[in-house]
Structure 1
Amino acid sequence: MWYLDTFAKFIGMEGENKISAVGNVHKYIRSITLNHLGADAVKEKLLPQMEEVVNKTLQTWSSQPSVEMRDAASEMLLDFSARIFFSYDAEKLLQLKLSEKFANTLGCLMSFPLNIPGTTYHKCLKSQKEAMSMLRKIVKEKITSPEKRSENLLDQAIDDMEKEKFLSEDFIVQLLFAILFASFETSVSVLLALKFLAEYPAALQELTDEHEAILKNRENPNSILTWDEYKSMTFTFQVINEVLRMGNVSPGLLRKALKDIEFKGYTIPAGWAIMLVNSALQVDPNTFKDPLAFNPWRWKDLDPLVVSKNFMPFGGGIRLCAGAEYIKSFMATFLHVLVTKYRWTNVKGGTIARTPALEFIDGLETKSFVKNN
């Protein structure tokens, strides 16, 4: 594993107990993350919680004249993740202004690591330290108040400190920051879904038809979304795949060669960094026809083997993102509530910048309306 200096320092990937470690440390991090964010967790408890949060969020958005989606989507995802990870509700997070701190740190990822006042890196590092300080207070509060423990990720990590020697207060704070930051980044996918669906009426109509059919097939139309209904969302997953294909947040995956590697007549020397530019793979016209067009129907005919080698929004192998199912299920739930209860228009479309990492440089502003039933 290897990361740019800025990213390594920023996300806690330095030192003896860095969270990117291999072996038992990586195995533990993956295990605890899957325990709280994996498919089983989504199926058994998270899906109805997601629907509840999305309903409340969209109801709030619909009462406003317009919504600046970059901040609103980030707050929604961060609030829900904080509830799962350490049982904090939206009101507490609003007081802490945690989402604001995370928003201010995004520019750090690809910046030059010059820590002097006025630089991007300095500003981002300041926000990162403030966010870490908030999380440290939360961890200390949990450690000193065992009677307030529940079954969230933080409580499990604290309980595991007795049997896992590498677990420390610092390590747990870094872990919380890293997974919260990962969920915060997912807000870009929500932004893109809203942007593209507003611009492609045919896709919006087919998506709406699929979800209204789910409601019609229920004995009680007002019942909560079930796992079986979620797994039946064929076109929804095509939409999500297309959003993730076009909206890969990270510009690439980085590794370092441990020894000389011979590849197609070239030698990659030991110690050199290797970057897989998966964001470019996903817009390769040799694999995806007319790659910059939003076309969820393309996923019906793509060869699964070709997809596995050219579509990696969550990485791959043993480093496949443990929160992949969590992210996809949240997006599916969001779209389910959105298209069955609301309609919206883009007041300001938002410009997508892809260098160095994907972001909206001038926002996406929408106006929401409650649908007349």
Structure 2
Amino acid sequence: MSPIALAAIIALVSFLFLSKFLKNVHGSKNLPKGSLGFPLIGETISFLRAHKKEQGAEWINERVAKYGPIFKTSVMGTPTVIIVGVAGNKFVLGSSDVVFATNRPKRISALQGKYNIFELSGSRYRLVKRAMLSFLQPESLQNYVKRMDELVTTSLLKEIKQKDTIKIVNFMQKLTFSVACDILFDIKDEATKEAFFGDFRILFKALGSFPIKFPGSAYSRGLEARARISNRLLPILRKRKEELSTGVLSSTNDVVSCLLALKGENEESISEAEVVDNFSILLIASHDTTAILLSLVVWKLSRDKQIYTKVLQEQMDILRDREAATIEENLTWVDIQKMKYTWQVAQEMMRMIPPVFGTFRKALEDTNFGGYDIPKGWQVFTVAHGTHMEKDIFSSPMEFDPSRFDKSSKPIPPYAYIPFGAGLHSCIGNEFARIETLTTIHKLVTKFEWSPVYPDETITRKAVPYPSMGLPIKIKPRIQT
């Protein structure tokens, strides 16, 4: 094809896109200030580049300084309004499904499945959410502590066997994946877990890649991994469906069995595709964000002796109390509730470095906020750092101060601290993550000593924030005195 012909095609495509784009905003007379960027790609490239360099906050702040806390842009091929601030968080995250629907970019939906809970709304969303919540309620969580303790202990001992250096990021990813498979999905076979884990890591890398389909691209590999996950899960799913029908298995056994037993408004069963999609999204949500948090906490403890000493003291006090009482070796729900300072450290890490940068929602009808119109079909995006680093909410926001989350401290306004989201679509697994985080940190600090291989290791964000070198540490059993 000649350069002239190619240029003509590009010009035609750009013209058609712009025509559609302008039609999309027709009738909106007071759009927020901002730039829609280039035809087709908008500001997607600069948005993703900043995100990967851990400069997403700077990208947002530059535009807030120029246009204000409500501005328009175009990312992932869709016109977007970005809203920063508590009022904006409440407007977007607290609105009903009639106004906004969860709107993950199509490239992400293709990887995670169009029927996953984050894509659902209305009665279907409530149906699936109730099923998942039945495994994440306090009475269920209390029963998970002992098994989590066993899995963490076994995994740590296995990891350090015959070696004195481990990469914390990789270890935490494997650990949290194993815990989710075992406790939530009753998948205990190590070979099966390993196979799933490998494909989920490929899938997760694809989430932060540019959505170009060609052989060998990260995105294409992610789609292939997604297909393998589905093919591997279907035999498990069908076996459990048969066991449910014969009474061998109860719907309370695991999340997959519970989803298979669901009935919709017309008594129709949930489809296999819906089960596969929600298996995938729950496994991603229940292991990767917790692995991020654990890696960041260990990174902080490795760099800050004062914080480490306080966490160690709290955890050793709990251990000594258990030993003095001569009670069972495994942690209990009561022990978890005593780990107040350790969880405050985790909360402060999530304030300064949120595991999830922001949330996309789609406007289902014309609406307005802050005096500006938001047209139907546009997406809106809220960012956690916009309020997490607001000095009027968190004094000296650049300082690491876990005491902000002490109950005696100044109350944090609703919708100001949103590492787990907020409103109707807040994360349903936040308590599961808390228990797993505290159990793991308890075992790590009370049973082992470690030092970072790279004391000056920084945090990088490739879809999500992680220590840039994988956080290798030299580790050895703690000598008990």
Q: Per-residue displacement from partner, 1:91-121 (whole Å, max 9, x unpaired)?
A: 2335x42212111122322433322223321
Q: 1:18 to 1:154 in 2, by over 3 A?
A: closer
Contact 1:62 1:370 in 2 (8 A): no
Q: 2:149 corresponds to which residue?
A: 51
Contact 2:117 2:129 in 1 (8 A): no
Q: 1:157 corresponds to which residue?
A: 259
Deviates more, 1:81-90 or 1:331-340: 81-90
Following superposition, the deviation at residue 82 of structure 1 comes to: 0.7
SS in 2 for 1:358: strand
Contact 2:295 2:466 in 1 (8 A): no
What's the % identity of the aligned pairs? 24
Contact 2:117 2:278 in 1 (8 A): no
Measure the CA separation in 2 of the matches of 1:199 and 1:34: 36
Measure the CA separation in 1 of the matches of 2:336 and 2:452: 27
Measure the CA separation in 1 of the matches of 2:367 and 2:409: 32
Q: How does 1:134-153 map to 2 (within 5 A)?
A: 134-146=232-244, 149=249, 151-153=253-255
Contact 1:351 1:363 in 2 (8 A): no
Q: 1:5 corresponds to which residue?
A: 106
Following superposition, the deviation at residue 310 of structure 1 comes to: 1.8
Following superposition, the deviation at residue 370 of structure 1 comes to: 0.8
Q: 2:67 corresponds to which residue?
A: none
Q: 2:127 corresponds to which residue?
A: 28
Deviates more, 1:30-39 or 1:277-286: 277-286
Following superposition, the deviation at residue 145 of structure 1 comes to: 4.4
Deviates more, 1:251-260 or 1:135-144: 135-144
| Correspondence 1:231 to 2:367 | no
Following superposition, the deviation at residue 259 of structure 1 comes to: 2.7
Q: 2:435 corresponds to which residue?
A: 329
Q: 2:285 corresponds to which residue?
A: 182
Q: 1:276 corresponds to which residue?
A: 382
SS in 1 for 2:135: helix
Measure the CA separation in 2 of the matches of 1:309 and 1:253: 13
2:313 alignment partner AA: D
SS in 2 for 1:274: strand
Measure the CA separation in 2 of the matches of 1:243 and 1:212: 22
Measure the CA separation in 2 of the matches of 1:212 and 1:18: 40
Following superposition, the deviation at residue 83 of structure 1 comes to: 1.0
Contact 2:415 2:422 in 1 (8 A): no
Contact 1:211 1:340 in 2 (8 A): yes
Q: 1:168 corresponds to which residue?
A: 271
Measure the CA separation in 2 of the matches of 1:58 and 1:229: 20
Q: Per-residue displacement from partner, 1:218-277 (whole Å, max 9, x unpaired)?
A: 311654322222122220220120122233222211112223333222222222111001
Contact 1:69 1:365 in 2 (8 A): yes
1:25 alignment partner AA: R
SS in 2 for 1:369: strand
Question: What residue ranges of structure 1 are gaps of 5+ in the alignment?
Answer: none
Q: Per-residue displacement from partner, 1:60-107 (whole Å, max 9, x unpaired)?
A: 23323211222211111111111123322252335x422121111223
Q: 1:204 corresponds to which residue?
A: 308
SS in 2 for 1:133: helix
Q: 1:132 corresponds to which residue?
A: 230
Contact 1:84 1:153 in 2 (8 A): no
Deviates more, 1:342-351 or 1:70-79: 342-351
Q: Per-residue displacement from partner, 1:19-47 (whole Å, max 9, x unpaired)?
A: 6222222112211211112322112x101
Measure the CA separation in 1 of the matches of 2:333 and 2:184: 22
Q: 1:37 corresponds to which residue?
A: 136
SS in 2 for 1:60: helix
| Correspondence 1:352 to 2:455 | no
Q: 1:80 corresponds to which residue?
A: 179
Q: 2:62 corresponds to which residue?
A: none
Q: 2:415 corresponds to which residue?
A: 309
Q: 1:243 to 1:132 in 2, by over 3 A?
A: farther
Q: 1:102 to 1:291 in 2, by over 3 A?
A: farther
Q: 1:260 corresponds to which residue?
A: 366
| Correspondence 1:104 to 2:188 | no
Contact 2:213 2:219 in 1 (8 A): yes
> 220, 225, 232: which is aligned to 2:326?
220
The number of residues matched between the two structures is 368
Aligned-residue RMSD, C-alpha = 2.4
| Correspondence 1:66 to 2:165 | yes
Question: What residue ranges of structure 2 are gaps of 5+ in the alignment?
Answer: 1-100
Q: 2:212 corresponds to which residue?
A: 114
Select the structure of larger CA radius of gyration: 2
Contact 2:107 2:211 in 1 (8 A): yes
Measure the CA separation in 2 of the matches of 1:177 and 1:164: 24
Measure the CA separation in 1 of the matches of 2:111 and 2:385: 22
Measure the CA separation in 2 of the matches of 1:200 and 1:277: 27
Following superposition, the deviation at residue 208 of structure 1 comes to: 1.3
Contact 1:246 1:283 in 2 (8 A): yes
| Correspondence 1:249 to 2:355 | yes
Deviates more, 1:291-300 or 1:308-317: 291-300
Deviates more, 1:69-78 or 1:100-109: 100-109
Q: 1:88 to 1:346 in 2, by over 3 A?
A: same
1:210 alignment partner AA: E
Contact 1:5 1:113 in 2 (8 A): no
2:312 alignment partner AA: T
2:307 alignment partner AA: A
Contact 2:207 2:463 in 1 (8 A): no
